[in-house]
Amino acid sequence: MSTEETSRFVRLRVELVVEVGDHEAVARAALARIADDPDMPDDERAHAEGAVTEDTAEALAYLVDPFDLVGEVPGVELAQASWSSEQIDYDPDSPEWDLDEDDVEADEEEEAVG
């Protein structure tokens, strides 16, 4: 397949599991980011401040920006992004947390179709 025949768009999937050692520090950083956002309406700001002080996962969602991941990559422009965060029970030794699990399922689906 030549370059002209391939799409210019690439879906980049990233899944992170982070350990939060200081919930208050994360909430403070999120509150500072919200306070520094000049485009956020006051009613949305009040809602956001309440959310980040009550939920560390919500605070992380305000701090992690997909544009930061690709903003400095030459020749790449972010076309669309979505992200979410949630608190989870994590056991790094559990087979449930195999990072390649989604890739294996996708490969098996492609083989079944092809």
Report the pLDDT value the prediction gives residue 105, as an integer from 0 to 100.
Answer: 56
Q: Could you tell me the two tokens for 43?
A: 């009613």
Would you place residue 82 in the very low, low, confident or very high pLDDT band (cuts 50, 70, 90)? confident
Amino acid at 55: D
Instruction: Determine the Cα–Cα distance for residues 101 and 57; give it in Å rounded to an integer.
Output: 23
Least confident of 13-17, 35-39, 74-78, 110-114: 110-114
pTM attached to this predicted model: 0.69
- What is the average pLDDT across 36-40? 94
- What is the average pLDDT across 45-68? 93
Bigger pLDDT: 55 vs 6: 55
Rg (CA), the chain: 19
Report the pLDDT value the prediction gives residue 4, as an integer from 0 to 100.
Answer: 60
Would you place residue 22 in the very low, low, confident or very high pLDDT band (cuts 50, 70, 90)? very high
